[in-house]
A and B are shown apart, each in its own frame.
Chain A
């Protein structure tokens, strides 16, 4: 695929293109530590974490092309979570005998599901946004990026920023809009805002 064609697609769309290895590497490098952290936090045994992680990522690889966003908020998050929970099921079953002996196996799964859901709600979007920002950073000049950061992160008004950076108010506003648009496009379907 041509690069300029790629940039007009969201990351999800891009991932659904065949043979898009680079984007997949990016995607996996985003989600691998994230999922891993949550598995570990959920109390899954260290030795099982890598197994579940591998299987989950593999499943995502296979299933993503068929994924269709149904328009509900958090649909992608839920999709990821469903995969992870499904892959963790077996591990939790076994552990249901040891760590959570007082809980029924089904209760155990439910708890895992819920806590993962909460964690993802709290952290997923923030984490992805940071990664997406990193991805689009190279497409903008220093000034444009600073203009964006000062307005969005620093909460400064456009006129103030223009003075700081020595540009026009208009150019500052433009920079912010361009970055936001790029981010929104890229994260469409993954980040819900």
Chain B
């Protein structure tokens, strides 16, 4: 074949070639021509191969890279080798990571099988945080993901046994035990430093690797060939993922027996006086040490309930009572970990580790022995066992048994037995569900989860009952539990699910209502559920829907009230509907309408109060409405705002009289005083405003004395001090103002507030001519206020100090205040601040505050800014 054709057939142009090869739309004739030409023309074939790159082709190339970016480094396609065990969390498989020889433990969290996307996302986030942990005593997590809705974790595979298993048939000597726990403490210290808590330390969660040569004996009788376990390499696993494994601590879906709370720290058991912190994990380590030394957990009752009670009330049996030769030091360390009050334990895992190492090295330890019985008794008396938790646990056990019996359906007689038991436990179940009415209980996170899970189990039961029995009673049961479940889910942050349950509740109630429209109880429940639903919808920004529902509910509630004018509960329902409608209107920016609703709510509740003057719950609602009304009035600048606040305060006082320890009321009162002080200030009643602040401060101090860590209270008292400082400043009570600014700074929780207060403090100090104090306050600004605005304000303050110095008789460019001013202004000038903000420049050149500075710096400096 000749390279260059000698006949007359033309070669395609570059354009034509390019267009055809890259698939551009052309006439079919042209395409035909080029294609058939290419069949025989080697020259053009080469040309075609050398064409410029086409944009679409480039796009395709880029797109293919994008694809490979999106595939995760480790795909979910692990090769499963065999099932390694079943735990409370789910099933563990031995698996191989694809493409490598690495063996992993693949933990499929079966309990999370039907989790919602938000749950899975949360799980993934937490697990990913855990996967960054890298410590010899912490099980390494390589991967986290989900396979068909089931979350899984891929962890390092450990040939060995869990500590729990080992301790069933063996004991450790003192050195081994101390070293083991010291290593674990080291691991926990590392973990804590990464900001993670374990929350579920127990021997089952400690894996002890076996040394390599023994692993081949795995298949032989384990008891006769004790493995050589490497205790120093013991690893902690199953971090706080117990939450994702199964929400109910005492009931697992893989069909195991009820789990045990023997290793839980007291603060984990629904007692909110102490939060769960690193010290909770220290307790866990102590529990592990205890079991290593004595062969049993610190507490073990005949039932989970009993065990829990022991954890809270009783002291553990002394180690020396169970193992008489135990070294005193080791016993002391162990019991210190198990102190009821977290403050009495080691402050950090590091301290525990250090004391243990001192023991191992035969050095004197730091811990002092705790008087064994004394503290436990005092602690228990201060924190009485909450009734709700008892009921929950009773209900928990009851419900589990009942639903298992009921669903087994083996014999009709068993079913009847189940029903009987059900009737018998209804009291406990309703007591549990009554907890739902008081939303503040939902602040106890553990309690919340427990309860939601109980409600879910109860729901299954009631649903099937309602289908078969279909009586009024069973429908009512169903509606109530749907309501509780809805509330619980909303409180836990799963609003969409919660709303679904509310809607189902409404349907159930509607059914009931249709069955007997005159049943007032049903009507009341229907109204409640609608208000709750609307409330949730409003919080989820679905305000229009909320308003619609409330507007529909209002006539129902009014009807109920009219039919029973003396019933306080019904009166409250109407008021509650009005109040929620008001709140919804506020969200929708319709304050005029909101005002009317709040006025109605207040009116109705005040009337009801006359009928039952000692009803504290009613009073609380009344105060809430009064406060909302006052806020609304203030926004609309109508009505006597001051009077409304005073009424609210009066209500708070009355509640407080009968409930002196009610922190919420006290704090609300403080806030009311704060707002009231602003009202008075607006009316130019300076002394009144100061007085209001003082009263508010007194109230909040009381609240802080009970719980010093309350964030809200700190914020409010800071604002109260700040307000009072302003008012004092304005009425020449500058000394008082200075004290108050200091207090406001001390309590402040927001950086910008702190800076604002500090600036005011400096100014007032200058008024009092306390220049040195003012300068030392300026030091405290160092890390704050790094933006230009802030820096300019700093310069202004320095300049004011400079002025003050002059009036004291000292002056000159050597003054620190002058130098600081100059430095900042120069810096800002370089940054172009003054060209952006001519007003600032004007302040410097003509302002009184820069008077002395200008003189010292000279006019050229100011001009050059």
Question: Which residue numbers of A lie inside 8 Å of B, CB to CB?
Answer: 46-48, 91, 94-95, 123, 125-127, 129-130, 133, 152-153, 155, 157-159, 169-170, 173-174, 176-185, 191, 193
* Shortest Cβ distance from residue A54 to the other chain B in the assembled complex, whole angstroms: 14
Tell me the complex Cα distance, A191–B59, Å.
10
Are A159 and B23 closer than 8 Å at their CB atoms? Answer: no
Given contacts A180-B23, A182-B23, contact A126 B66 (CB under 8 A): yes
Q: Mark B115-139, 1 if CB is under 8 A from A, else 0.
A: 0011001000000000000000000
Given A169-B45, A170-B45, A177-B20, CB of A152 within 8 Å of CB of B63: no
**Is the Cβ of B49 less than 8 Å from the Cβ of A177?**
no
Q: Is the CB of B66 within 8 A of A178?
A: no
B35, B48, B117, B543 — most chain A CB neighbours (10 Å): B48
Q: Is the interface of B mostly helix, strand, loop or mixed?
A: helix
Listed from nearest, the 7 A-B pairs whose CB atoms lie closest are A180-B23, A181-B23, A126-B63, A158-B49, A193-B56, A94-B541, A129-B63
Besides A181-B24, A183-B23, A193-B59, 9 other CB < 8 A contacts?
A: A46-B117, A48-B541, A123-B66, A129-B60, A159-B49, A169-B49, A174-B38, A176-B22, A184-B23
In the complex, the answer to whether A47 meets B495 with C-beta atoms within 8 Å is yes
- Which B residues lie within 8 Å of A173 (CB)? 21, 38, 45, 48-49
- Pick from A46, A152, A177: contact of B61, CB below 8 A: A152
Contact of A152 with B60 in the complex, beta carbons under 8 Å = yes
Check if A152 sits within 8 Å of B57, measured CB to CB: yes
How many residue-residue contacts, CB under 8 A, span A and B? 91
- Return chain A residues, CB-CB under 8 Å to B55: 193
User: Interface 1/0s, chain B 11-42, versus A by CB < 8 A?
Assistant: 00000000011111100000000010011001
Interface 1/0 per residue, B234-262 and A, CB below 8 Å: 00000000000000000000000000000
The CA of A182 and the CA of B60, in the complex, are separated in Å by 13
- B67/A130 in contact, CB under 8 A: yes
Cα separation A50 to B39 with both chains bound (whole Å): 54
Shortest CB-to-CB span from B580 to chain A, Å, is 18
A-B contact pairs, 17 of them (CB 8 A): A46-B117, A47-B540, A94-B541, A129-B60, A129-B63, A152-B57, A152-B60, A153-B64, A155-B61, A173-B38, A174-B38, A180-B23, A180-B54, A181-B25, A185-B25, A191-B56, A193-B55
Contact of A183 among B21, B56, B62 (CB under 8 A): B56
Whether the pair A180, B59 counts as a contact (CB closer than 8 A) is no
Residues on A with beta carbons closer than 8 Å to the beta carbon of B22: 176-177, 180
Q: Which residue of A lies closest to B50 (CB)?
A: A157
Please determine whether B39 and A170 come into contact, CB atoms closer than 8 angstroms. Answer: yes
Q: What A residues does B57 contact at CB under 8 A? A: 152, 180
Smallest beta-carbon distance A100→chain B, Å: 14
Point out the residues of chain B lying under 8 angstroms from A182, CB to CB.
23
Task: Give Cα distance in the complex from A177 to B38, angstroms.
Answer: 12
Greatest chain A CB density within 10 A among B39, B42, B57 is at B57
The smallest C-beta distance from A136 to any residue of chain B, in angstroms, reads: 11
CB of B46 within 8 Å of the partner chain: yes
Q: Which residues of A contact B543 (CB under 8 A)?
A: 94
- What's the nearest-Cβ distance from chain B to residue A120, in Å? 14
Question: Known contacts A126-B66, A169-B45: does B23 contact A178 (CB below 8 Å)?
Answer: yes
How far does the Cβ of B541 sit from chain A's closest Cβ, in whole Å? 5
B617 contacts A by Cβ under 8 Å: no
Query: For the complex, is B650 an interface residue (Cβ under 8 Å from A)?
Result: no
Q: Is the CB of B66 within 8 A of A127?
A: yes
A41 to chain B, nearest CB (A): 14
Residues of A close to B434: CB separation below 8 A: none
Name B34-88 residues within 8 Å CB distance of A: 35, 38-39, 42, 45-46, 48-50, 54-57, 59-64, 66-67
> Which residues of chain B are within 8 angstroms of A153 by Cβ–Cβ distance?
60-61, 64
Q: How far is the CA of A185 from the CA of B25 in the complex (A)?
A: 8
**Separation of A95 and B57 alpha carbons in the complex (Å):** 42
Is A180 within 8 A of B21, CB to CB? yes
Once the chains are docked, how many angstroms separate the CA of A179 from the CA of B39?
18
Known contacts A153-B64, A158-B48, A170 near B38 by CB under 8 Å: yes
A177, B63: Cβ atoms closer than 8 Å? no
Report how far A157 CA is from B59 CA in the complex, Å.
Answer: 18
Residue of A nearest to B544 (CB): A90
Known: A157-B49, A159-B49. A184 touches B25 (CB 8 A): yes
Nearest CB on B from A89, distance (A)? 14
B751: Cβ under 8 A from any A Cβ = no
Least Cβ–Cβ distance between A182 and chain B, in angstroms:
7
Instruction: Name the residue of chain A whose CB is nearest to the CB of B495.
Output: A47
Q: Which single residue of chain B is at the shortest CB-CB distance from A156?
A: B49
Chain A neighbourhood of B59, CB < 8 A: 125-126, 129, 191, 193
Check if A159 sits within 8 Å of B61, measured CB to CB: no
Tell yes or no: B416 within 8 A of A by CB: no
Instruction: Please give the distance in Å from A75's CB to the nearest CB on chain B.
Output: 17
Give the residues in chain A near B661, CB-CB below 8 Å. Answer: none
